A and B are shown apart, each in its own frame.
Chain A
Amino acid sequence: QSALTQPASVSGSPGQSITISCTGSSSDVANYNYVSWYQHHPGKAPKLLIYAVTRRPSGVSFRFSGSKSGNTASLTISGLQAEDEAHYYCSSYTSSSTYVFGTGTEVTVL
């Protein structure tokens, strides 16, 4: 199972919106609404931001939102803040009953 494809880095100024893409295949993203997104600050535990493509867990800021079209899922961070600097990973359930993560995206706040 190959990793889902994400851009290596995305940057934006405070207050702006950015979008991170996550491209998979018919074996994962395209055929399952089981896409989730994680924020990872180095040395800390990853944090769930979005599950089931669009759902936000209790306590996660409304500035994070998810969507999907075909084999590509997306995470949008609106009103970018300094604390949003981190690595972001998508994940999907697969047709082999396994799981696959994205390659990861480093977000920089300019």
Chain B
Amino acid sequence: GEQVEQLPSILRVQEGSSASINCSYEDSASNYFPWYKQEPGENPKLIIDIRSNMERKQIQELIVLLDKKAKRFSLHITDTQPGDSAMYFCAATLNQGGSAKLIFGEGTKLTVSS
């Protein structure tokens, strides 16, 4: 079936550096790409998203880039802090018969060390 590939699965960075997570998708009709952050014991929470009519979006230290031609999108966290340590999931919509579903990547475990 349709898949979203997410890399890397594990990412360790030093506090203050940048962290980048990359995702690719298969459905050229995908038009919405959210990123979720899940902390231990918590539910996944939307942190930033991008629609297909945009190439770049920034919310504070979070930047998402979308390359529709290559079917790739990425999350960049600048000036990482220990509080950014968590699991991060990318997702892309899969449109089937009028219904839009989210297909998730496998997740990236980010650890920011001080």
Q: Do A and B come from one complex?
A: no
Using a CB–CB cutoff of 8 Å, the interface residues on chain A facing chain B are none
Using a CB–CB cutoff of 8 Å, the interface residues on chain B facing chain A are none
